[in-house]
Amino acid sequence: SSRADFIPRQYVDVFSGLQDSVPPWEKDRVQQIVQQSLMESQGLQLDDVFETFDEVLGSASIGQVHKAKLTPQFGGEVVAVKVMHPNAETRFRNDFKIFRTLCKVALPGWDPILRELEMQMMTEFDYTNEGNNLLRVGKNMAKSPYANKVKVPHPMLDLCSKNLLVMEYLEGKKLAVSIEDKLASILGGDRLVARKVLKAKQQALFESKHSGHQKKGFLKDLNDILGESNSSLSVLEKAAKARKLMSMTRDARNKLSLLLDATGHQIFNDGLYNGDPHPGNILVLDCGRLGLIDYGQTRSLTKHDRLALAAVVCALGRKTVDIDEVSKAMNEFGFHSRDNNEANIAKFAALYFDSDSAGKSLGYATPQKYLQHLNSIDPMVEVPDPAVFVARTSFLFRGLGALLQQQLHTSQHWKKHAKIAIDADGEKLQLYNLGITPIASE
């Protein structure tokens, strides 16, 4: 649902609601689940822990989140309470079995990726895992260069269980909602027009064959947007609104750049990152920071995986890409194709870890069709599991970029983090490539 070019627009509109707008379970039923969980894990009553338990904030396919306030005994702070829907795990297993069957027909090249996706998504059905992930990622971010720019909610692990997660409440809006609100304000408060404009511009970028975004085209887009709002605006009024639109766009792109940097640091420095950074999991907080939530699909990378991936990203990020270097780095990471066609392997690398632009320039409307084209030349027979969610993260960020009319090249954002990793541990990467396992220093 974060990529309008993967499936028809009407499906995207429906599926995007599954990010956090699934019809929720009744509050009384949810409170029963919370009560049972607290009693089984802590021997506590609901009223022992929560002074208030408010209506739902958001509801997804697996669970829903409520705002609540802890009793003085537990600190008295405002928290977010995530509760798993009954039978969610069974429904997911059945749905994914159907999904994989359909993909074998519609998206045959994606089966190796779907296997890893299914295994990782099963980890979402134990909220104690997510609580521990939040704690580890939060500690990593607190000592990173982005400590004052991003925020990860702190979990109350003593109150968490398999189907209950209690964590710090972050006050803010989803990134996409924040952008929509600002655009609506510039357009005179018309949210419907703002939503229409954003969807149209996002779809136009996905359908474009151009990999860049020219300033002249951007100014024309501004004029088109203002025309959507009010064709009777004077030149001065349009100029004032155009300045606001350009400021809004710069601010949104800066936030996206920050998100890419924070994630790049998590991947290449920490080896621990969110494998599901869809728009519903990114908040613009009232304090100005970015809120990073929902770490149910946290992925960890070994030092070898980090360095092997870093080599691929650095090779892709060069001004002049060396096909042999990219292909070799992909092989050393664990990618292997039937015929070892180096040029084709390099194209797979660019699709997974950089951009969709090559496929668009050849006239392929979607990444799937371009992937099928690459598989028809020399199919990929081995895809390393650690690569799957990094590639998925890259795809999701490109979808966010399209929301801002920006054709992203994730390797360009991540190469500095990849280079830092190689500079710090490059000697160990060479040992791995020689088949020697270095003695761990951490």
Dump pLDDT digits (tens) for 160-201. Answer: 999 999 999 999 999 888 888 888 888 888 788 777 777 766
Whose tokens are 């039923």? That residue is 29
Closest CA to 283 of 199, 158, 379, 173: 173
Q: How far apart are CA 384 and CA 104, in angstroms?
A: 19
Question: Are 185 and 194 within 8 A, CB to CB?
Answer: no
Q: At what angle do helices 342-353 and 303-316 cross, to 10 degrees?
A: 100
CB neighbour burial string for 324-340, b if at least 16 within 10 angstroms, e if fewer = ebbbbbbbbbebebeee
Average pLDDT, rounded, for the chain: 84
pLDDT digits (tens, 9 = 90+) for 380-438: 999 998 999 999 999 999 888 877 667 889 999 999 999 999 998 765 555 444 444 44
Question: Are 409 and 354 within 8 A, CB to CB?
Answer: yes
Question: Are 267 and 392 within 8 A, CB to CB?
Answer: no
- Is 30 a residue whose pLDDT tops 70? yes
Closest CA to 186 of 256, 233, 220, 253: 233
- 3-state class of 305 per DSSP? helix
Q: Which residues pair with 52 in a beta bridge?
A: 69
The pLDDT, as a whole number, for residue 225 is 59
The pLDDT, as a whole number, for residue 435 is 44
Q: How far apart are CA 373 and CA 382, in angstroms?
A: 17
DSSP H or E stretch at residue 57: strand 50-59
* Helices within 295-437 (DSSP H only): 303-316, 323-333, 342-353, 357-361, 367-377, 385-403, 410-433
The C-alpha angle with vertex 196 and arms to 406 and 244, in degrees rounded to 5, equals 60
Show the tokens assigned to 61: 């396919």
pTM of this structure? 0.82
Work out the pLDDT band at 307, boundaries 50, 70, 90: very high
> Which stretch of 8-17, 238-247, 285-294, 433-442 has the lowest confidence by average pLDDT?
433-442
- Is 11 a residue whose pLDDT tops 60? no
DSSP H or E stretch at residue 291: strand 290-292
Q: What is the DSSP string of 241-266?
A: HHHHHHHHHHHHHHHHHHHHHHHHHI
pLDDT digits (tens, 9 = 90+) for 313-354: 999 999 999 999 999 999 999 999 999 999 999 999 999 999
| Residue 12: Cβ within 10 Å count | 19
Whose tokens are 């990529």? That residue is 3
